[in-house]
Amino acid sequence: MRIVLTLLVLGGLFAGLFALGTYKWSPEDKPVLHVADEVALTVNTAKPEARAITRIVQAPGDVEAVLEVEVSSEIVAKIEEMPVEEGDHVQKGDLLCRLDDDDLRAQVESGEARCAQLAAAIEQAEADLEKATRDVDRQMKLSEADATSDLEMRDYLTTKKKIKAMCEMRRQEKIEADAFLKRAKENLERTIIRAPISGVISKLSVKQGEVVVTGTMNNPGTVIMTISDLSKMQVKARVDEVDVPLVKSDQKARVYLQADQEIPVPARVVRVSAKGTKAVGRDVVTFEALLEVLSSDSRIKPAMTANVEIEVDRREEAVTVPIEAIVHRMRKDLPDEIVAEFDKKQSTVDLSDRARQAQYIKVLYVMDNEAAKVRLVDAGIADTRRVEIKEGVAVDDTIIIGPYRSLDQLKDGKKVKLSDDDKKKLAAANGNANANVNSGDAAADTAQASAGNP
């Protein structure tokens, strides 16, 4: 009996405590049994700014000359003379190197002799053909007078045909010899290699005395040197497949060289590759974007590594907030009115109930009378620091931007307080405002006094 009475007393005590905890005073809306105040989260805040914002796409790339020529030899020979060095400026037509031409000169002399010999042979064959023609004509007259036999007549005709064929063969041999001589002379001219373009010798691959070879199907051949026209440079950037739909021709861009990342170089997009590539051993697909460098800056050298920023979109007067103010919350963690507003905007999107429940909603929090209020936002373009807010925020709102541990714990209606740094900034701002007001009042008093004195 005593145990039952004890349980009844404890039950009544807990019920009374629960009732006191749930009952609230009318004006302050606080429980009668108030154990402790809610601990306010310390937050950092910022004001939205109306400013221009530019969306950029970043990509790595390599610098190269627009016009670059690899100079190779068209014949196999030894380099006899090379009057240029790496880094020299050359003009179109300047001598780059001279190859050994002794063998080719001998081939030219042999070809000339062969052509002369065949010319004499053709002259002799034509003379023999002329004599054979006279002999056949004489035999025809004798045959008409029955002064010769048919066999003798046929022999003369056969001899004429043989001499005519020999004459034609000599002519064909002469054509072949002329072609050989022409090729030998062209190869002799190729022993002198001149600059095909004006520019700088950016790379010298061989030295005087080395033998250069021509390229074949399995052998690329010897590249003697590379000449680059440094007056026009370009960058081949590797744009990620996620960003490539945003990149178009004639978009503005900036090139940041690894050698100097403080001062950008202006550029513009020339074209974007229609087909992506995948690096060996990686699953990332990139598209090549060709950018023209719009500067003759001497810092830009071929084969430099660079990072490019391409301006793909821009808003001149946009309401922007720091990018860290945007957070993602699951549907179940947000008030019903925010979820309903989000669903209304997503009415045209066909999603299953399971996918809809798993959605994360993009929101931010504003500070309202020491409490955090959640706002559904429609974010636009963003740069590296700020994001455009199309709907959901006014310029006079106070946006909560951090710190991260506070943002992670924020909920609608959560009690918040300003950090010490924000309090100092607010006090300084108010002090400047008061100073401006006081200076304005003083100026007005001075003007009024001056107006009262003649």
- Nearest CA to 407 out of 362, 364, 361 is that of 364
Phi, psi dihedral angles at 405 (to 5 degrees): -65, -30
**Position 130: which residue type?**
E
User: Where is average pLDDT lowest: 66-70, 264-268, 433-437?
Assistant: 433-437
**Tell me: the pLDDT tens digits for 390-416?**
988 988 899 999 888 888 888 898 999
Spatial separation of the C-alpha atoms in residues 298 and 294, rounded to whole Å: 12
Q: 64 pLDDT exceeds 90?
A: yes
What per-residue confidence (pLDDT) applies to 138?
87
What per-residue confidence (pLDDT) applies to 167?
92
pTM for the full model? 0.66
Angle (nearest 5°) at CA 8 between 5 and 12: 140
> Region 7-20: what's the mean pLDDT?
60
What per-residue confidence (pLDDT) applies to 305?
93
Q: 211 pLDDT exceeds 50?
A: yes
- Nearest CA to 317 out of 380, 252, 376 is that of 380
Spatial separation of the C-alpha atoms in residues 256 and 240, rounded to whole Å: 18
Give residue 355's pLDDT band: very low, low, confident or very high (50, 70, 90): low
* 3-class SS of residue 56: strand
Q: Which long-range contacts (CB under 8 A, 24 or more apart) does 405-409 make?
A: 406/41, 406/42, 406/43, 407/43, 407/324, 407/327, 407/365, 409/41
Give residue 95's pLDDT band: very low, low, confident or very high (50, 70, 90): very high
- Nearest CA to 13 out of 3, 24, 21 is that of 21
Q: 28 pLDDT exceeds 50?
A: no
The residue that leads in pLDDT, 23 or 97, is 97
What per-residue confidence (pLDDT) applies to 104?
92
Q: 20 pLDDT exceeds 70?
A: no
Determine contact, residues 38/177, Cβ cutoff 8 Å. Answer: no
Ranges of each domain in the chain: 43-47+327-376+398-421, 102-186, 223-314
Cα of 232 vs its chain's centroid, Å: 17
Q: 451 pLDDT exceeds 70?
A: no
Classify burial at 4, counting beta carbons within 10 Å of its beta carbon; exposed 0-12, middle 13-18, buried 19 or more: exposed
What per-residue confidence (pLDDT) applies to 27?
44
Which tokens in the block code for residue 231?
Answer: 């007056």
Determine contact, residues 100/166, Cβ cutoff 8 Å. Answer: no
> Region 278-282: what's the mean pLDDT?
82
Looking from the CA of 323 toward its CB, the CA atoms found within 13 Å total 10
What per-residue confidence (pLDDT) applies to 271?
95
Hey, which bits of 249-392 come out as E strands? 252-257, 260-272, 277-278, 285-293, 305-322, 327-330, 360-367, 372-376, 378-382, 386-391
The residue that leads in pLDDT, 170 or 282, is 170
Q: Which residue in the block uniquely carries the two structure tokens 């105040």? A: 37
Task: Please spell the DSSP secondary structure of 249-269, one letter per residue.
Answer: TT-EEEEEETTEEEEEEEEEE
What per-residue confidence (pLDDT) applies to 148?
74
- Nearest CA to 279 out of 241, 308, 306, 246 is that of 241
What per-residue confidence (pLDDT) applies to 26?
44
What per-residue confidence (pLDDT) applies to 251?
95
Alpha helices in 96-149 (DSSP H): 102-144
**Tell me: the pLDDT tens digits for 111-131?**
999 999 999 999 999 999 999
Give residue 432's pLDDT band: very low, low, confident or very high (50, 70, 90): low
User: Where is average pLDDT lowest: 30-44, 157-171, 305-319, 402-416?
Assistant: 30-44
What per-residue confidence (pLDDT) applies to 447?
47
Looking from the CA of 197 toward its CB, the CA atoms found within 13 Å total 18
**Tell me: the pLDDT tens digits for 170-199?**
999 999 999 999 999 999 999 999 999 999
CATH superfamily of 223-314: Efflux pump adaptor protein, beta barrel domain (2.40.30.170)
